[in-house]
Amino acid sequence: MKNFNNYTSRNSSILSKQLLCSLLFGLLVFMPAVLHANYVSLNKTTEIRNTLLEFDNNKVKDILWSAIGITNDVDYHKVTEAKFDGGDFSLDFVASSPNTYDHSTGGGAFDTRDVGQDTGDDIVESLEGGDFTCGDIVTFLTQIVVDKDAVGSQTIDLDYEFLADATGQSGVALADIVNVQINYGAVSGGDGVGSTDSGIKDDGGSVATLSNEHITGDGELFNDNKLVGTVTITDLEASEEVIVRVDVRIACDPTSSPTGNLQAAITAALVIDPEDDVISVGNQTVPFKNVNQIIFPTCAITPATAVCELATTSYTASSDVADATFVWSITGDGTIVDAASDGTKTIVASGGATSTSVSVLAGSAGSYTLSVSISKTGFGTQTCSQEITVNDVPTVTAGADQTVCAASPIQTLTATATVSTGATLVWYDAASGGNTVANPTLSSIGTATYYAQANLGDCSSGRVPVVLTINETPTVTAGADQTVCAASPIQTLTATATVSTGATLVWYDAASGGN
């Protein structure tokens, strides 16, 4: 590499030679205009002067150095023609081919500058909205080629400009420069050794730094403004080819329907070290067409079915934005479980998740509205809501338990219950779970328990039992009648009878009724 500083150690000797040479040069060129030599006419002097002036000044100085016996051991031409100027650089501004990198991180490689989106292609010269989603990162690449005759290490500034609003209807922007770097190291799509960018040909010492990023105008997105930023690139030396990567995030207004285009451009370039000079930029633009095709994120809450008083229900909000922040809120007859003191609950999705869930405890009959705001840098904020009906829990009142003795023929007992208005009575054969019973009856000796439940929509009461019992009718066998004549003192007769096992013998003073 050529280095201008290599010459500084010899400045004093060069300076003394230059001063002497310049003195002799001035005498030779200008003295004939004022002196009259005896053997050189004024006309001849003028002729000599004109002849000398046809020489390059450096050539004249070389001749004079030689005439006075000084060896010109410094390449004076290279010193005076050292290139510290804008002419040392050529620029090529493009975008990474969208299918070569992860749009959540940015990437791609310049490599051999194959244009297109087929396998093996590297870059594109224009972008299409249908290849991107709100919040995606778009990677732009700038190839800097340094002239082979450039001297020393130079530093330049590149001024980038990105439209922060669509050219048609507002609502989408190239909104934020999230990363700048020299495209060193392994990169997606890199064709070089170790998946590096084969388009880089340098000593690995350049650094790209972002400065002065801002939104023009009122500083707001979606308001006919521009995103601008300056990138400083250091250590650019002769014959090097350096690839600068600039990652820019797409931002969207979720309530909008944008049309038209966006655009990225390099608007100016300057050498800032070791000397200031302007670099010719030319037309360095990358159009971003058909922004109406950029995919906007979605928002949905499920389920949407009615719930019951005091029921706890889980809800899930989903989007197509990974790792977003979900802020849940609620109004009406419901409470978010484990909410903050203001009644909201914030959940940050992670690991690529696109959904989060909350539980809601319903209050009294009526309704509540559950809402969620899903936000992420570049995606704006998507908000969706779901109104949920809260139904009354119906009531049920069990009829009386029934116990009878078997008749002949045996009778049928039927369980009874009443439910609140609008509800449906359903009988079960168990206190929970179990099976439904169409006819809660008993028509044999024994006991049956049925459970009554009231249903209203998706709401159900608790179950209450009704017990039916038909007992076997007991038997009684009367003892023998007893007839005697009165004795003195008079005797006592006691009636006797026997009953079936388990029965209790009861005596009455009448065939029915009585005591």
Are 54 and 110 within one domain?
A: no
Any domain includes 441: no
Any domain includes 47: yes
- What radius of gyration do the chain's Cα atoms show? 50
Do the beta carbons of residue 313 and residue 307 sit within 8 Å?
A: yes
Are 105 and 242 within one domain?
A: yes
- For the stretch 450-481, pLDDT in tens is 999 999 888 999 999 999 999 988 889 999 99
Any domain includes 420: no
Write the burial class of residue 84 (CB in 10 Å: 0-12 exposed, 13-18 middle, 19+ buried): middle
Q: What angle do CA 99, 176, 216 make, to 5 degrees?
A: 135
Are 160 and 41 within one domain?
A: no
Are 148 and 285 within one domain?
A: yes
Residue 65: its pLDDT value, please?
44
Write the burial class of residue 360 (CB in 10 Å: 0-12 exposed, 13-18 middle, 19+ buried): buried
Q: Is the pLDDT of residue 390 over 90?
A: yes
The range of the structural domain enclosing residue 280 comes to: 86-293
The number of domains in the chain is: 3
- Which among 360, 391, 422 is the end of a domain? 391
- Which among 293, 324, 353 is the end of a domain? 293
- Confidence band for 146, pLDDT divided at 50, 70 and 90: very high
Residue 254: its pLDDT value, please?
79
Any domain includes 107: yes
- Which among 340, 374, 391 is the end of a domain? 391
Listed residue (421, 478, 484, 418) closest to 453, CA to CA: 418
Helix H, strand E, coil C: the string for 41-67 is: CHHHHHHHHHHHHCCCHHHHHHHHHHH
Write the burial class of residue 158 (CB in 10 Å: 0-12 exposed, 13-18 middle, 19+ buried): buried
**Helix-then-strand count for the chain, H and E:** 4, 33
User: The domain spanning residue 220 has which CATH number?
Assistant: 2.60.40.680
- Confidence band for 63, pLDDT divided at 50, 70 and 90: low
Are 22 and 169 within one domain?
A: no
Are 264 and 310 within one domain?
A: no
Any domain includes 265: yes
Which residue has tokens 């290279």? 78
Residue 3: its pLDDT value, please?
35
Any domain includes 505: no
Are 189 and 261 within one domain?
A: yes
How far apart CA 430 and CA 16 sit, in angstroms, is 116
Which residue has tokens 């979900």? 326
Are 260 and 190 within one domain?
A: yes
Enumerate residues 6+ apart whose C-beta is below 8 A from 148: 238, 239
Show the tokens assigned to 431: 């206190």
Whole-angstrom CA distances from 443 to 416, 448, 503 are 15, 10, 22
Are 139 and 175 within one domain?
A: yes
- For the stretch 206-249, pLDDT in tens is 999 998 999 999 999 999 999 999 999 999 999 999 999 999 99
Q: Is the pLDDT of residue 51 over 80?
A: no
Show the tokens assigned to 393: 């829990």
Are 74 and 123 within one domain?
A: no
Are 271 and 322 within one domain?
A: no
Strand partners for 141? 94, 245
Which residue has tokens 């009142």? 397
- Confidence band for 503, pLDDT divided at 50, 70 and 90: confident
- For the stretch 252-310, pLDDT in tens is 987 889 999 999 999 999 999 999 999 999 899 999 999 999 988 888 999 999 899 99
How far apart CA 334 and CA 312 sit, in angstroms, is 9
Any domain includes 488: no
User: The domain spanning residue 324 has which CATH number?
Assistant: 2.60.40.10
- Confidence band for 381, pLDDT divided at 50, 70 and 90: confident
Any domain includes 461: no
